[in-house]
Structure formats: C-alpha cells, structure tokens
Amino acid sequence: MDKHVSVFSKKETQPSIRKVIYPGTFDPVTYGHLDLIKRCQKMFDEIQIAVASSQTKKQTLFSIDERVDLLNKCLDISNHPSQVKVQPFSGLLVDYAASQNISTIVRGIRAVSDFEYEFQMALTNRKMNKSIDTIFLIPDESYSYISSRMIKEICAMKGDISHFVPPHISEALTLKLGRAEK
C-alpha cells in the first residue's frame, strides 16, 4: 500500500487540537503582530506566542520580561480569548516547539525580502526536525509596511507612532527612549 494513502485514510478517534507557535522578538509588538494573532485565532485552537530571548547579535530595547508583559497587556486590551498564551523561550525554535508538542510554526511575511529570509529559516528548521512545518501569513495591507525597527526609529526622532502600536506600547517606548515629558 502506498504510504501516502495510509496517511490520508487514517481514522482518528478524537479530533486533534490544532496548535501553533508564533515566534518573534516582539521588540515592540505592533498592530501588524496583533493582526497575525487574530488571523491565527481563526485557524488554530491554541496559539503560543513565543517571545525569543536575544541570543544572537540582535539587540533588544526591552528585556524579555518587559516584552512578555507588554504582549500580555495587548492581549488583555484586545480581548483575545484564553486560547492565546505568551511564553518566553531561548535556544532553537524547533527544539522549543517540539518540547511544547507543537508541530506548526507561523511566520508573517510583509515583503519579498521577508519571504527570502523566512523561506531559508523554514527549510533549515525542517532539516533539523522533519515533524515541524512552517506556514506563512500575510498581514492586512494596512500593516504590511510596519516593522518594530522602524517604529523605534520614528519614536526616537519624536515622531507619532500611535498608528502603529497600542497606546501602552507607545508610552513604554517613549519612556525607554528617554522622550518622557519632564
């Protein structure tokens, strides 16, 4: 019997829970990130937002604890149901996903340049763990140009970032970048 036929004809006794990991540094979280979380809620039963510690050369403005707290406040503000959980992680994403019994990673794609990087990462992850798949989601076009790096630059130059991040993120960025009114 063809191995592909047996996979598709396999009967399950209970419906499986569809789980996904949405990893990122979220430094800071943006409306684009929140849009992807809403999209995931339509497709998955459980979404684990995996906040990455900075173990590579990527410097973060906020500590991992601050980023987790800021994200949790976003989820409270947006009335996201309890199907969404925020957890910090370090190390290889595929190892973390396997330790959480999650076999799907979701990544947002804003532009072709994102796709090139994310495609390479997805193939590398698959090479390290064949049971983990990556799916790509495109955010709403009104968020497709937003990046955390760009928002930090705009804020540092005293620009208005209210269209890109929730109010508490804007306040946290202003304080962190030393722009608070005296």
- Per the CB < 8 A criterion, the answer to whether 90 and 53 are in contact is yes
The tokens describing 84, both together, are 């969404």
Please, is 147 exposed, middle or buried when counting C-beta atoms within 10 Å of its C-beta (0-12, 13-18, 19+)?
A: middle
Beta bridge partners of 86: 49
> Which of 34, 63, 8 lies closest to 167 in space, CA to CA?
34
Exactly one of 18, 19, 80, 110 is catalytic; which is it?
110
In this structure, are strands 19-24 and 84-89 parallel, antiparallel, or unpaired?
Answer: unpaired
Q: Which helix (H) or strand (E) holds 179?
A: none
Burial 160-180 (b: 16+ CB within 10 A, else e): ebeebbbeebbebbbebeeee
Closest CA relative to residue 125, chosen from 137, 138, 134: 134
- Is 73 considered catalytic here? no
Q: Please pick, among 57, 127, 158, 182, the residue that the annotation labels catalytic.
A: 57
- The verdict on whether 110 is a catalytic residue reads yes
List the catalytic residue out of 33, 39, 107, 152: 33
CA 99 from centroid of its chain's CA atoms: 18
Whether 67 is a known active-site residue: answer: no
The single residue of 107, 148, 152, 170 carrying the catalytic annotation is: 148
Active-site residue flag, 38: no
The residues carrying an active-site annotation are: 33, 57, 110, 148
